[in-house]
Structure 1
Amino acid sequence: MTGPVAPRDPEKARAHFYIMRGKEICGLKQGDGKAVQFIYESDGRLANSAQIVGNITDSRILELLGTVKGFRTLVHSIGVSVEMEHPAEKIEFVFQMYGKKDLYGGGTNLVATLQGDGMEQRICLSDYEWSLDDDVPGQIRFTFDQPERVGKADVRFYLNDGFTAPEDLTEEKVDLHSEEYYKMVQRSLMNLGNTYRIRKVIEKARAGKEVTLAFIGGSITQGAGAVPIHTECYAYKAYQLFQKRFARNNNVRFIKAGVGGTPSELGMIRFDRDVLREGEQPDLVVIEFAVNDEGDETKGDCYESLVRKVLKLPWRPAVVLLFSVFANDWNLQERLQPVGRQYDLPMVSILDAVTPQFSGKEQKRVITKNQFFYDMFHPTNLGHTIMADCLEYLMEICDTSDHARVDSFRQGMTEEEVLEQCLRGEPAIGNSFEKVKLLDRRDGYEGASMREGGFDATDHELQCVEMDQDLCTTPEFPYNWMYDGTKPDRAFFELTITCRALFLIFKDSGEVDAGTADVLVDGEFRFTADPHVNNWLHCNAVLVFQEKETAAHTVRIQMSGENLDKKFTILGFGYVE
């Protein structure tokens, strides 16, 4: 057995700080057959990890972590170790720098081959010939010999002379059965609301009838930060807790429809396809977009439209609004909770639960940010557990309230009649899109016709997500239209459609061969769709037009003049008749 490589300067005890400490990792099988755990460090994530894990407060250090040039000024070497059940297994560690011109292919890769025995390998930055295209620290990858292997990883930065770091933080094990933990979970109940529909779901489960729980949201609902993602995510854990407490004979079914990096603007369009697929009729739907909707150009209209869309389904499912939180103690619950108040819906706030004790306002801290957050956006396994426990607490309180009865009155009406009256009233923010539908190559619309032009190819390099209990991934919007850069004489797509609102869904990409496209409505330029604004592979929904009356319009999507040799993918459209 080969031991770890000794550091180049073992005689010198260098200052250091961790960016990962005891973090769970798991190699998930990729399309090329490799088993990989990705950890993204761009867009401020690396500095945030230094703050949360390494206790770094020095603004100069945090600023240096934002670029490769600064990173090289600060960091002398990287120490990395992985501890696994099978210590002889090998793992490849890569810290990839992103390039200026070629995002994924132009930067330097720092590489080490480890064994899962917990021994640290040191990567010395001076051993590398650095790329001229280096821009920012990009991502960490752990590649395993076999898929679904689980381990715990430490990554720390040893600093160059002249830099100091605080002492390593010490953390106590989180006691999930303590009084302080229970009080923290209790704080998550922002609004109990009208519990009638939830109580009906509980009674149905207890009676042994089949019950379906559905979860729709962004990357946290997808399970990001959970290792492994399909069984350690909050949605799966909440479903298991509900099954254990209320069900008989495994009569609870589970739908998970989280898509990373996407807001309710896209969620409302894909709800029918991803949640109501194949005739599904979920009894309870948890909606989680409180950290994804910052870029929602409708400022909550899409969110409320989705909520109303679900509440108005013929079988009257229960709806729970879940407000997750980022590591900077932020979410959009102040913007979105008026929607829950309008329909008196149960609301659960993870921000309200955990942030008071992060700040030290509590006498005894239950959990640190490092223990709760995997990165600046996503929870750890423990964080996902807390989210699931908060949802279970809501269910417990609903169960102890009055049982669902036809004669359960409030203000002279049954609870269901009260909700239906609210739905007939004015919305809190807006209901412009509650009847939105998806249009793509498979799902047509009789009020639409199109000329594909040069957009006649199909893109197979798509954002893929883990649905339901699956570890294997499902591609998003496979029935698309792609311009592949080879038909400059037909570099357009034209849609004639009769509707009052239209969304374009297009593919974001960090690839150098992706180009921009101009969007015109009835011959008038509206905007340029740029796949590099977000610069990573995911789905982007943009409002093309919204009018009071339904009318016929011609929408032309054409490659920008200098991008005729580039690629652009129309994933689909959302329309309101």
Structure 2
Amino acid sequence: MTDHNSAAVDEGVNGGPAAPRDPVDKRSSFYLMYESIVEATARPDGRFSQEVYLEGRQFIDRVMFTSGVTDESIVQLLTNCSGFRKLVHSIGISVKTSDDDHGSVWFALENWGRTRKYETGTKLRVPVRADGSESVLVLEEQEWSMDDDVPGKMAIEFDRQGALGTVSIVLYLNDGYEVQAIEPEDPVDYDSEAYRALLAKSLLSSGNNYRLKAAIEKAKRGEDVTIAYIGGSITQGAGAKPIHTESYAYRSYLQFKQMFGRNGGDHIHLIKAGVGGTPSELGIVRYDRDVLRDGAVKPDIVIIEFAVNDAGDETNGVCYESLALNILAADNRPAVILLFSVFMNDWNLQDRLAPVGTHYGLPMVSIKDAVVEQFRLRKGEGGVMSKRQFFYDIYHPTNAGHRLMADCLAYLFAETDQAHPAEADIVIDKQPVIGNDFVGTRLLDRSNCEGIATIVPGSFTGIDTDLQMVEMDDHPYATPQFPNNWMHTGESGNESFRMTIRSKRLLLAYKDSGRSDFGSAEIWVDGVHVRDADPHEVNWTHCSAVILYNEPIAREHTVDILMTSGQGDRKFTILGFGYVE
């Protein structure tokens, strides 16, 4: 492995993105990031960084998205390290921090290795200026590992958590390679009639407004109202900088507060519970903990956003409908709004999930309906916001994209406020449109298992503290997910984890990890092998949920979890369970 700090950069001057010096200035180039806002997030190694992953299609997709490069002979060179060095002469990095106290800023590049993925590839880390001038890293001047396989990630590192900066990363090409330069875009006109029409188009359905009207009137009276959001990384705020104040959830909460609050709106409260990379299958397990706060909170409005995460829901919508019904059945009769976000490739699961909203008369807001058609148009021809302006990467919105999402929700709030109230509440006591098997799902973990299940942890006696971290509510800091877990450490023996529980349905939540010291586990129910759990299927630290059984009648079951044969010296973390009594 080559792992070193290098000062081999050519720095610009005078505070703005400097014109690169020879021999770089006459070279063809394209952007990996272009004036993107980044935020320093705390990492397990103690650094504070914004990371850009390049593995697989991510490098190609980002370059095609940011710079419009479609030449197949060019983009294919980005799929491995030898091709990358054949194509790229140097990397230009411009960072402009958001305050006068620039602090220390570093640019890092990591290649994954052939022998040991995260250990044997090149790791470069070089200082860059934070005043907007360009630093240039010339590739031939660096020392490279002979074991380099594929580009892994780049990162901008800061000296403190929460630091903000505007970053451009440009790849200057070797002689013989040329790409077309990108054209600058006009800013979004948020005051235009075209933008207003875009918001109107997002209103897929006003639904039965009985509950949402009631929450709005309650807010107008000055009574406490809580608006909650549950979903994936977009609800967490991914792409928004800073994440805790620019996310669509926080922005739409502020708009609701400004529209309907009294005397400053301190009686309007926020619950934000988005967890990146997770579907409604996990959302229903954590709803009581993350939204209801174990019974301490009764939200008046709940926005559900899983339209781009539920490809990973093995129930194909049953958990989604069950989650909506769980919320709707609460004794305080909260309003439920279905929000359909979208990926850069114009995809979401709206066609699968919208029938749930139609069936129960729920308000529905579609970001896909709002933006996709106009993405194909230029400004002046009906285009309001381009993909480059809306998307931070191929999955997540920019600050502008999060603002648009919040504005779409605010449009629903305003339309509901002006509409006549429905004469009667919605009806949920009817046949489901997809399924309701998981209504009543509760979380079971190390903190609350007593009296619910009998557990003999075996060799799963450790507690994992290296967990997925999520910014909840309006917090700038991250909170670990599922801290009350059971961990097999690799040094604790080879005994199985055994749980005896009476229930009709059971889900397992376990930790995914990109670390090589994690191994897979076998899951047995009543002496029958039902599935394996592989923490490397996704290969980054986050939470996975899988169904262990789904039966119509509750009975006693014994669940055994043990390390796969030959992997007893590796780690595995049981985060918890979701059970239906």
TM-score in terms of structure 1 length: 0.94
SS in 2 for 1:548: strand
Cα shift at 1:318: 0.4
Aligned counterpart for 2:453 among listed residues 419, 423, 448: 448
Question: For residues 377-456 of structure 1, what are the structure 2 equivalents within 5 Å?
Answer: 377-402=395-420, 404=421, 408-409=422-423, 414=424, 416=425, 419-420=426-427, 423-444=428-449, 446-456=451-461
Question: For residues 269-280 of structure 1, what are the structure 2 equivalents within 5 Å?
Answer: 269-278=285-294, 279-280=296-297
Once the two structures are superposed, residues 223-248 of structure 1 have per-residue CA deviations (whole angstroms, 9 ceiling, x without a partner) of 11011110010000000001011111
Once the two structures are superposed, residues 327-347 of structure 1 have per-residue CA deviations (whole angstroms, 9 ceiling, x without a partner) of 111111011111111101111
Question: For residues 222-301 of structure 1, what are the structure 2 equivalents within 5 Å?
Answer: 222-249=236-263, 250=265, 251-278=267-294, 279-301=296-318
Query: Is the contact made by 2:239 and 2:397 (CA closer than 8 Å) also made in structure 1?
Result: yes
Q: 1:3 to 1:283 in 2, by over 3 A?
A: same
Q: 1:97 to 1:265 in 2, by over 3 A?
A: same
Cα shift at 1:366: 1.1
Query: Is the contact made by 1:111 and 1:123 (CA closer than 8 Å) also made in structure 2?
Result: no
**AA paired with 2:281?**
E
SS in 2 for 1:543: strand
Query: Is the contact made by 1:86 and 1:116 (CA closer than 8 Å) also made in structure 2?
Result: no
Once the two structures are superposed, residues 132-185 of structure 1 have per-residue CA deviations (whole angstroms, 9 ceiling, x without a partner) of 443332222211133332221000111123321111221111111111111111
SS in 2 for 1:111: strand
SS in 1 for 2:132: coil
Aligned counterpart for 1:38 among listed residues 51, 58, 67: 51
Cα shift at 1:372: 0.8
**AA paired with 1:520?**
W
Query: Is the contact made by 2:461 and 2:492 (CA closer than 8 Å) also made in structure 1?
Result: no
Once the two structures are superposed, residues 78-100 of structure 1 have per-residue CA deviations (whole angstroms, 9 ceiling, x without a partner) of 11101123275431011222334
Within 1, Cα distance between the matches of 2:35 and 2:95?
9
Matched, 1:479 2:484: yes
**1:327 corresponds to:** 344
Query: Is the contact made by 1:448 and 1:496 (CA closer than 8 Å) also made in structure 2?
Result: yes
SS in 2 for 1:118: strand
Aligned counterpart for 1:547 among listed residues 532, 544, 551: 551
Within 2, Cα distance between the matches of 1:344 and 1:180?
28
Query: Is the contact made by 2:9 and 2:136 (CA closer than 8 Å) also made in structure 1?
Result: no
Q: 1:31 to 1:489 in 2, by over 3 A?
A: closer
Once the two structures are superposed, residues 17-62 of structure 1 have per-residue CA deviations (whole angstroms, 9 ceiling, x without a partner) of 1111110012234466533222333342221221121111112323
SS in 1 for 2:345: coil
**1:371 corresponds to:** 389
Query: Is the contact made by 1:453 and 1:494 (CA closer than 8 Å) also made in structure 2?
Result: yes
Q: Which runs of 5+ in 2 are unaligned?
A: 1-7, 13-19
Within 2, Cα distance between the matches of 1:21 and 1:112?
20
**AA paired with 1:463?**
Q
Query: Is the contact made by 2:494 and 2:562 (CA closer than 8 Å) also made in structure 1?
Result: no
Within 1, Cα distance between the matches of 2:147 and 2:525?
39
Cα shift at 1:312: 0.5
Q: 1:187 to 1:475 in 2, by over 3 A?
A: same
**2:323 corresponds to:** 306
Aligned counterpart for 1:501 among listed residues 505, 518, 523: 505
TM-score in terms of structure 2 length: 0.93
Cα shift at 1:316: 0.4
Deviates more, 1:365-374 or 1:317-326: 365-374
Cα-Cα RMSD: 1.9
Question: For residues 454-469 of structure 1, what are the structure 2 equivalents within 5 Å?
Answer: 454-469=459-474
**AA paired with 1:434?**
V
Query: Is the contact made by 2:494 and 2:563 (CA closer than 8 Å) also made in structure 1?
Result: no
Q: Which runs of 5+ in 1 are unaligned?
A: none
Matched, 1:562 2:578: no
Query: Is the contact made by 1:89 and 1:115 (CA closer than 8 Å) also made in structure 2?
Result: no
Query: Is the contact made by 1:494 and 1:554 (CA closer than 8 Å) also made in structure 2?
Result: yes
Once the two structures are superposed, residues 250-283 of structure 1 have per-residue CA deviations (whole angstroms, 9 ceiling, x without a partner) of 2200000010100000000000000001510010
**AA paired with 2:248?**
Y
Matched, 1:27 2:27: no
Matched, 1:167 2:181: yes
Question: For residues 47-86 of structure 1, what are the structure 2 equivalents within 5 Å?
Answer: 47-84=60-97, 85-86=99-100
Within 2, Cα distance between the matches of 1:265 and 1:99?
34
Within 2, Cα distance between the matches of 1:72 and 1:335?
44
Aligned counterpart for 1:131 among listed residues 145, 169, 192: 145
Within 2, Cα distance between the matches of 1:67 and 1:456?
41
